[in-house]
Structure 1
Amino acid sequence: MAEVRGRDTWTEELASLIEDSGVRYGGDSPPTSFEVHAPQSESGESLKEQALGFVMAWCEILMELGRGFRDILRQNLINEDSYVVRKFGGPCSKVSKRLRFLNDFLPEDRDPFHAWSVVFFVFILALAAISVDPNREAVAPVVKVRQHPPSASRVLLPDGRYMAYHEQGVLADTARFSLVAPHSFLSSRLAGLPGVKASLLEEYGIRLVTYDLPGFGESDPHPNRNLNSSAMDVLHLVNAVNVTDKFWILCHSSGCIHAWASLRYIPEKIAGAAMLAPMINPYDPHMTKEEMKRTWEKWLPRRKMMYSLARRFPKLLSFFYRKSFLPEQHDEIDKLLSVSPGKKDKLVTEEPEFEEFWQRDVEESVRQGNIRPFIEEAVLQVSNWGFDIKELHVQKKCQTRGILLWLKSMYSQAGCELAGFLGLKHIWQGLDDRVVPPSMMEYIERVLPEAVIHKLPNEGHFSYFYLCDQCHRQIFTTLFGTPQGPVERQEETATAFEEEDKEEVLQVPV
């Protein structure tokens, strides 16, 4: 009986372990044979569950291992006495304080550490996806960047640098008006007034002098340039190329920051300014909140990021600029400048004539293969200029030091003088401009009420400046009035009339 009970107990225990797995025994006699009935689906599910349990167990082990490493790091490396904290704690704290302004963009209920970790991870993934995009070359035709032989005239500046320049129009000794034009970002001396006809310049007697900024085109780089040195470069250039009278300064877009500097530092040499879509510092503290908001909302996120990096971490621009501006192939203009052109700008930039002009200008601007001038230019746009645009406002300043001088100024203007830029300031602004938004023009109009503002409906950033004969004629007519030709032509005509009068006198019978 005991043996039977043992066999029964052993059988019952085995059956309870395998839970009716399909093993059958005959009666109470010892099992001499058995059959296994194991459905395929049940076997597959069991294996899946085992694999899942195995993976979960390993995950738990790794999590515990990670917690262990974290505790070790906290106890040995991230305490106040550790070498890592003593070595890198100060710099990390400074960087953290400088980046703290980014927390304002997060919702109040989000932990900055967790949120920015996710943002950084997603940014890296997006950057990697953009870098390996297989369809990028298929979107636009491939145009190789060409190398051109030197073609500029150059002058030696007092500090030993050479500045490259280009002349158009009439000669120096016959010019009725002289125009000096600094170029904008990602451009060169070849831009000037894009597509202006030589016959139009001669009709108005204009001599147009354009030059390369330091490090662009064929101009030598400046070791420590700012807007003051930029104005001095213009002064040395006009003296070297024999501009004896006052000259007009012509600028477009970001090139106008150098025009603003010239109006501020060498106003006695300038007759007036012609500015098309003039750039101002987007961080100008004198802009109202509404003006600043309407300025920034017009820009693409990439352009906003570039301005932010230029202001706070300019060294990081090297990676983006080197990839964008110094490739072996041209890219589309909206990608190079991080802009979204309006309707009219899009039509203009798609014209073959514009593409050819733009490509040649870009090729000239990057001919030195150095990214530093571009970074310097971006930093100049968003940093402290050393002056405010409102300082150019024409106003009376009287000597009021002392009670007697103050009382005298109350009743007499003898001790007063005009301050600011006294010449003419003409500004043309396209109302559909998405590179330099109209809100910048409104700010200029507010702080410089004497400036003449020409608002251009439906015009964009490029449409009124590039390859537009009618636009160029309108600009010259606004600045100079009726065309009178070169000075020499008028003198020759007067001399011819005098000779005719003499001949008539000689022919009269005595």
Structure 2
Amino acid sequence: MAEVRGTTWWSEELASLMENPIPETVSTTSFQARKSEEVVNESEETLKDHAVGFLMAWCEILMELGRGCRDILQQNFLNEDSYVVTKLRGPCSKVSKRLRFLNDFLPEDRDPLHAWSIVLTVFLLALAAISVDPNHETLAKEMKVRMHPPIASRILLPDGRYMAYHDQGVPAGRARFSLVAPHSFLSSRLAGIPGVKAPLLEEYGVRLVTYDLPGFGESDPHPNRNFNSSAMDMLHLVNAVNVTDKFWVLCHSSGCIHAWASLRYIPERIAGAAMLAPMVNPYELHMTKDEMKRTWEKWLPRRKYMYSLAYRFPKLLSFFYRKSFLPEKHDRVDKLFSLSLGKKDEILIEEPAFEEFWQRDLEESIRQGNMQPFIEEAVLQVSKWDFDIEELHVHKKCRTRGLLLWLKSMYGQADCELAGYLGRIHIWQGLDDRVVPPSMMEYIERVLPEAIIHKLPNEGHFSYFFFCDECHRQIFSTLFGTPQGPMERREQTAFEENTADALQVPVSNKE
């Protein structure tokens, strides 16, 4: 009865509060079910709110932890008196000074720290994308590298190294003129005069001797290469292959740095120099600002970057050279060197003869698989040279040291003699050359006014020297004049006559 009265009382009270009374058919069971659903919904919303609050609390804790770690680092490691700052302050300042030149490439209104952080981030992302992408393929034509058996003739140098060389043209005993040619970067003794015909060498009586620089081709590396050692290697070579008279030195592009060294250190053995698009130091201090500007503006950004690495951070070159020179396949010459070529050069490098020559010469150049000689060659190009090209300029040099010589120069004429290189220097320069720009030739013309400059309109870096029969004939005609053919072999030299006379004396006594 109590339950019925309780239920009736609750229904009556609820009906009194509402306009429409609740039917008495509503049971306590249905109400309890609705109440249980509301409780469940409230419990679900509370769990979600708790989860969100938990995560937010953890984030706040982590942020506070990070701030605390930052404060600890700043107070204990990054203040001026900390061990880390004391040890790293000097090296970091040196690195920042060496990298300060990079700020010249930024717009004036950009903060260097902010700009270079963005550049570095983009560079790392691009490098990661290229490395991860399995379908990455180069669009340029690639050539597979082959290794060939050793075939070179070699001589033993005084320091125990072997030098490989290649002999072409007229034999030593009949040569009217001897040409010695050091090769350029990423090349070998096989370069010489690309495409020169044997009948032309015979017609002018020319013997052409080319050789591998230390560490290239089949020549042994040199532990301490410099310009003087380069000239001495050339001198030992000509003596070993029986070049007894003065010889001509022939060079192209960066190979001319070794020709410059020979003119400086062994001028008494050289009859003259024939240089095609000769390379000089792009950081040469004696170049004017205009000459320097017109030199660098012809080069692509990647080539400028490689020169900057060779000049400031040469050890980093190993990474780039190993990826460029030593893989199983190679790009075209302009892609490999990041060259901007003129119209004639673009046509030339598409010809099968050039592609075959370039591929074989490259394969011979890298046969040892060692990047150190290439790094040494790049550093020789851009570092301060052991001499100035101006020293080759012909000038009077008077001896006035010492009291007696000084008094003699005051009251009379001092003992003077001509200094510099006294032979002929011929330079051929293509005016459409974008590899060794004409501004370098203009610098040479300014400091060596006695050099004979042959300016070639519409010619590029390769077009006048590679596989051009008429060009080769013009070069030989300029150097040697009218062709006279090889020299006739003499039946008996003066040395042989003296030897025969000496041998006849005991014979006559014996009779």
What TM-score, normalized by structure 1, do the two folds share? 0.82
Q: Secondary structure at the match of 2:330?
A: coil
**2:188 partner letter:** S
Change (3 A) 1:319 1:86: same
Change (3 A) 1:411 1:290: farther
Q: Determine if contact 1:80/1:86 at 8 Å carries over to the other structure.
A: yes
- 1:285, 1:98 → 2: CA distance? 18
Q: Unaligned 5+ residue runs, structure 1?
A: 8-24, 35-51, 493-510
2:272 match: 272
Q: Secondary structure at the match of 1:449?
A: coil
Q: CA deviation at 1:410?
A: 7.8
Q: Determine if contact 1:409/1:416 at 8 Å carries over to the other structure.
A: no
Is 2:323 the counterpart of 1:323? yes
Query: 58-67 or 71-80, which moves further after superposition?
Result: 58-67
Change (3 A) 1:167 1:296: same
Change (3 A) 1:464 1:157: same
Superposed, 1:4-23 pairs within 5 Å as: none
Q: CA deviation at 1:76?
A: 2.3
Q: Determine if contact 2:433/2:459 at 8 Å carries over to the other structure.
A: yes
Superposed, 1:276-295 pairs within 5 Å as: 276-295=276-295
2:310 match: 310
1:100 match: 100
The CA RMSD measured in Å over matched residues stands at 3.1
Q: Deviations for 1:431-484, whole angstroms, at most 9, x for unmatched residues? A: 111110000000000000000000001100010111111110000000000110
Query: 58-67 or 89-98, which moves further after superposition?
Result: 58-67
Query: 396-405 or 352-361, which moves further after superposition?
Result: 396-405
2:168 match: 168
**2:244 partner letter:** T
Q: Determine if contact 2:141/2:332 at 8 Å carries over to the other structure.
A: no
Change (3 A) 1:106 1:356: same
Q: Secondary structure at the match of 1:139?
A: coil
- 1:209, 1:421 → 2: CA distance? 22
**1:106 partner letter:** L
- 1:179, 1:466 → 2: CA distance? 17
Q: Secondary structure at the match of 2:427?
A: strand
- 1:198, 1:54 → 2: CA distance? 88
Superposed, 1:251-262 pairs within 5 Å as: 251-262=251-262
**1:271 partner letter:** A
1:188 match: 188
Q: Deviations for 1:97-134, whole angstroms, at most 9, x for unmatched residues? A: 32233334434543332222112112223334455677
- 2:373, 2:19 → 1: CA distance? 95
Q: Deviations for 1:282-320, whole angstroms, at most 9, x for unmatched residues? A: 000000000000000000111111111101100011110
Change (3 A) 1:142 1:406: same
What is the identity percentage for the equivalent residue pairs of Structure 1 and Structure 2?
81
Q: Which has the larger radius of gyration?
A: 2
1:384 match: 384
2:79 match: 79
- 1:446, 1:292 → 2: CA distance? 14
Q: Secondary structure at the match of 1:309?
A: helix
- 1:132, 1:435 → 2: CA distance? 34
- 1:344, 1:134 → 2: CA distance? 37
Q: Secondary structure at the match of 1:196?
A: coil
Query: 460-469 or 101-110, which moves further after superposition?
Result: 101-110
- 1:420, 1:58 → 2: CA distance? 80
- 2:249, 2:56 → 1: CA distance? 73
2:127 match: 127
Change (3 A) 1:72 1:486: same
1:438 match: 438
Change (3 A) 1:396 1:72: same
Q: CA deviation at 1:266?
A: 0.3
Q: Determine if contact 1:157/1:163 at 8 Å carries over to the other structure.
A: yes
Q: Determine if contact 1:322/1:371 at 8 Å carries over to the other structure.
A: yes
2:43 match: none
**1:357 partner letter:** F
2:448 match: 448
**1:189 partner letter:** R
1:367 match: 367
Report the number of matched residues.
454
- 1:241, 1:311 → 2: CA distance? 36
Q: Deviations for 1:341-365, whole angstroms, at most 9, x for unmatched residues? A: 1111010001011000000000000
**2:239 partner letter:** N
2:197 match: 197
**1:353 partner letter:** A
- 1:28, 1:290 → 2: CA distance? 104
Q: Determine if contact 2:170/2:207 at 8 Å carries over to the other structure.
A: yes
- 1:203, 1:293 → 2: CA distance? 44
